Structure 1
Amino acid sequence: MSTIGLKRSLGLWGIIGLGLGYMTPTVLFDTFGIVSIETGGAVPTAYLVALVVMLFTAISYGRMSRVFPSAGSAYTYTRETIHPRLGFLVGWAALLDYLLLPLVNALIIRLYMTSLFPEVPGWIWVVLIVAVVTGLNIWSVSSTSRVNTVLVSFAVVMIVAFLALAVVELSQGVGTGTLFTTETFHHDGVHPAAVLTGATVVCFSFIGFDAITMYAEEARDRSVVPKAIVLTLLIGGAIFLVSAHVAQAVFPDVSRFEVTDDPLPEMAMLVGGKVFQLLFVSAAFAATVASGLASHASVSRLLHVMGRNRVIHPASLFAYVHPTRRTPVFAIAIVGAVSLLAITPSLELVASMINFGALVAFTFVNLSVIAHFVWRRREFRTPKQVATNIVLPLVSTLMTGVLWSFLHRDALVFGVIWASLGVLYAVVMGRVTGRRLTDVRLDDTSDADPDVDPEPVAAPAAL
């Protein structure tokens, strides 16, 4: 019997493109007004702080992806290094983040389209975008990657155009009147506490570099995944940091904006006029679609691995890989079904629920480094081992802890409810199946030959 596994078709830049698409490069302009008010006009500093925090965590993700080249990410790392039960709970918490991000992107597109075409019911746009994104993901991950790359490239080109137009504005005396200024990072009235609060807001602009680990089983060479994680973070961070500096130089405060919650259209209009505004809003739309494609692809891989480990049911449904498309079709379709919920909720409600899952994943990936290299492998006997295996992940954990302290109350409440549902699910399914879901070990050959696909999982008989 031939084996059927996820197809190894992604190269380094294909994976980086998916990570950048997930991060949505234009999101800086959507949140610029809020962060500028929060930091007192020091948006670049907030992004710099967030980039440093994320870089520490990215190093941990890269190290663990070498040890466990599975598509399960934080779920896999925790269950294999600390405990299967804790791994299940981390995976369950991460689902809150990963499952809702495709929904958020569909919701944002609904808001875009209903503002342009108010006479068309919003549910039509949701169904249309979810159908397109789900269909592309089912067809193949390489097709998803190619479309994502086109969309991200367009968004990046428009960001570069914005920066060029903004520099022209600066040369004419607008804003600070010069590109070469440190006032965008610090000036009178900027307080560290305010910058840190702003960093907690922009930190989630970086969510996406961690999702790269979900493509570990589809990379042509699994050794490129750690490199892709760091490069995605650095490229995305550079885009955010440069854009924030230039935008802050042109707009030292929010006095020129009529709408501060999402000033992207106004910023484009002020630097480039009506035609450029249309192009820039189109770029934001393209970036949102790209994020929808990438986030949909990543969460379906997490569901696939959890089904393959038989910790979510029906396991055969989630674990199934199409014999010719080589994609987890049922897991992808289920994510599409969840995304249809974007027909009714508000963006604020859904967004408040995402941060909990992201912080859980970040925290336990760092702790997994310590558990694996210090507790299991006893690599703490040299100064270098202490620095890399204890100090770096511990510092990253503490930095993430600071973000926990600023977590929105609604996010914490929804997160605790979701985690409680996970515990209830594990108990109930354990009794139904007669086995503890969380005690099943990996079956994806973490230490096996990377060129050998996992054992096939047959399609459910009813299907």
Structure 2
Amino acid sequence: MHDNDIQRKKLSLWQVLIIGIAYMTPMTVFDTFGIVSGITHGRVPLAYLLALVAMLLTAFSYARFSRHSAKPGSAYTYTTDSCGANAGFMVGWCALLDYILLPLINALLISIYLEALFPSIPYWAWVMIATSVVTLINCFRIHILANISLIFVLAPTLLMMVFVYLVIKGIGTSQGYEHVLTMTPLINGDHSIAPLVAGASILCFSYLGFDAVTTMSHETKDPQKTIPRAVILTTLIGGCIFFTASWFIQLYFPNNLRFNNPSEALPEIVLYVGGVFFQSVFLCGQIMNTFASGLATHASASRLIHIMGRDNIFPKAIFGQTSRRFGTPIYSVLVIGLISCLAIFLSLDTVVSLISFGALIAFTAVNFSVFMFFYIKQKQRHGIKNIFLNLIVPWLSVLTIVCLWFNLDAAALQFGFIWLTFGLALFIYKKLTKQNITINEAC
């Protein structure tokens, strides 16, 4: 391990957790509520529970591998360790798609919100401002980013608590359910399974974030102990936030009849619950929440590019280096910033429809890697415990991911295969030019 690596190990468990939770964007529950409520027939909290169970299985696979290996890189590294450098390259390339699109989406969202608040400033200017600020903060030491993210996560969380209070206060006077202590948001008489699974499939992507913390291993104290805990805790805390918020929203809005536009229900939800002033404050909190997510997604994407740069997938002299002063992968951070500037030319609907392909590839690969590494390679297959941990859990996780594949947007699938084709072309080029992928063993 290089001295610079030692100096960079600054993140504690709570700081890694903050980055993971910020990545999730907890207030997204308000954005997706109208859509999922319509799909599930008013059973959003139950859909979140199903999604939590599904994601916990995959989170367990990430935690299991991160406990074994202190190397960062998430699905890319874990697949490389279990299935070889070639498989790792393809998984890393596919995972990179979502990693670089998410900062772009956050830049889009921040700019849309800010343009709505300050219409005199053009949209393209907000994109440049938001991207520049996020990129600049990511250039500094990672613990600075974690501390800033804490502020931008706590403020929206407090607003969500105020929202819950207002819902409790308004129950009985609204058109929602009459009592807080009711199981109706979970069991409302509709027993259909397919709509519930479809809703849960959408909500699973709300949990993206637990996987991103595994890219922070090099900058975390005692990573083989801290990262596995962070993976599981990020998933559980995110799940608790999503479930609680959706429960109280569902109490107030049993169905979508009161929404003019269910696909953009957030402004109407907070307006009905708290009035015009609370709506304005809440939307400011949403901007903060999105900004926190922008910081976290930018950090994770730049780390993955850096890790792949160290392994000579990308030019090592550029992307494999870190700043001597800040210990951060400056060039990777700047590249993600430049990509995020494409938000000027793209629409939100277009970009959102393209995500998820990389995440599903990564989830599938990590679950398979647990099976390959522990059950096949290390032959940990004797006894009920080993069979359960190394065979049943990973394959059960794969089955849940299959459900997500069936619900994947067609545009995401098409764009994903195009991206995969570019990856294959790069892979073939490296083979023909004898540019070997050199896996960095430093931890």
TM-score strictly above 0.5:
yes
Shift of 1:279: 1.2
Which residue of the partner structure matches residue 290 of structure 1?
292
SS at match of 1:217: helix
**Structure 2 residue 425 is the aligned partner of structure 1 residue 443:** no
Structure 2: how far apart are the matches of 1:157 and 1:305? 36
Shift of 1:425: 1.1
Shift of 1:39: 0.7
Which residue of the partner structure matches residue 131 of structure 1?
132
**One of 241, 244, 251 as aligned partner of 2:243:** 241
Which residue of the partner structure matches residue 428 of structure 2?
427
**One of 277, 280, 300 as aligned partner of 2:279:** 277
Query: Given residue 274 of structure 2, which amino acid in structure 1 is its aligned partner?
Result: G
**Structure 2 residue 71 is the aligned partner of structure 1 residue 74:** no
Q: Is the 1:102–1:292 Cα contact (8 Å) retained in structure 2?
A: yes
Shift of 1:120: 2.2
Q: Is the 1:57–1:396 Cα contact (8 Å) retained in structure 2?
A: yes
Query: Given residue 246 of structure 2, which amino acid in structure 1 is its aligned partner?
Result: A
Shift of 1:171: 4.3
1:26-47 superposed Cα distances (whole Å, 9 cap, x missing partner): 0000111111111111111110
| Count of residues in correspondence between the two structures | 441
SS at match of 2:203: helix
1:389-424 superposed Cα distances (whole Å, 9 cap, x missing partner): 100111011111111111111111111110110010
Which residue of the partner structure matches residue 304 of structure 1?
306
Query: Given residue 335 of structure 1, which amino acid in structure 2 is its aligned partner?
Result: I
Which residue of the partner structure matches residue 266 of structure 1?
268
Q: Where has structure 1 moved over 4 Å in runs of 4 or more?
A: none
1:52-79 superposed Cα distances (whole Å, 9 cap, x missing partner): 0000011100010112212211000001
Shift of 1:430: 3.3
Which residue of the partner structure matches residue 450 of structure 1?
none
Structure 2: how far apart are the matches of 1:295 and 1:197? 26
Shift of 1:173: 5.5
Query: Scaled by the length of structure 1, what TM-score is found?
Result: 0.93
1:128-187 superposed Cα distances (whole Å, 9 cap, x missing partner): 011111110101111111110100000110011101100111143541111111211122
Which residue of the partner structure matches residue 406 of structure 2?
405
Shift of 1:2: 7.0
Query: Given residue 94 of structure 2, which amino acid in structure 1 is its aligned partner?
Result: A
Structure 1: how far apart are the matches of 2:332 and 2:146? 18
**Structure 2 residue 364 is the aligned partner of structure 1 residue 367:** no
Structure 1: how far apart are the matches of 2:78 and 2:290? 29
Shift of 1:259: 2.0
Q: Is the 2:138–2:298 Cα contact (8 Å) retained in structure 1?
A: yes
Q: Is the 1:40–1:190 Cα contact (8 Å) retained in structure 2?
A: no
SS at match of 1:325: coil
Q: Is the 1:41–1:190 Cα contact (8 Å) retained in structure 2?
A: no
Structure 2: how far apart are the matches of 1:9 and 1:2? 15
Shift of 1:116: 2.5
Shift of 1:370: 0.4
Q: Is the 2:312–2:436 Cα contact (8 Å) retained in structure 1?
A: no
Structure 1: how far apart are the matches of 2:69 and 2:298? 22
Q: Is the 2:174–2:252 Cα contact (8 Å) retained in structure 1?
A: no
Q: 1:19 to 1:140 in 2, by over 3 A?
A: same
Q: How does 1:108-147 map to 2 (within 5 A)?
A: 108-147=109-148
Q: How does 1:57-456 map to 2 (within 5 A)?
A: 57-172=58-173, 174-222=175-223, 223-312=225-314, 314-432=315-433, 434-437=434-437, 440=438, 442-446=439-443
Q: Is the 1:152–1:290 Cα contact (8 Å) retained in structure 2?
A: yes
Structure 1: how far apart are the matches of 2:431 and 2:425? 10
Which segments of 5 or more consecutive residues in structure 2 lack a partner in the other structure? none
Q: Is the 1:42–1:190 Cα contact (8 Å) retained in structure 2?
A: no
Identity %: 39
Q: Is the 1:39–1:190 Cα contact (8 Å) retained in structure 2?
A: no
Structure 2: how far apart are the matches of 1:2 and 1:234? 34
Shift of 1:264: 1.0
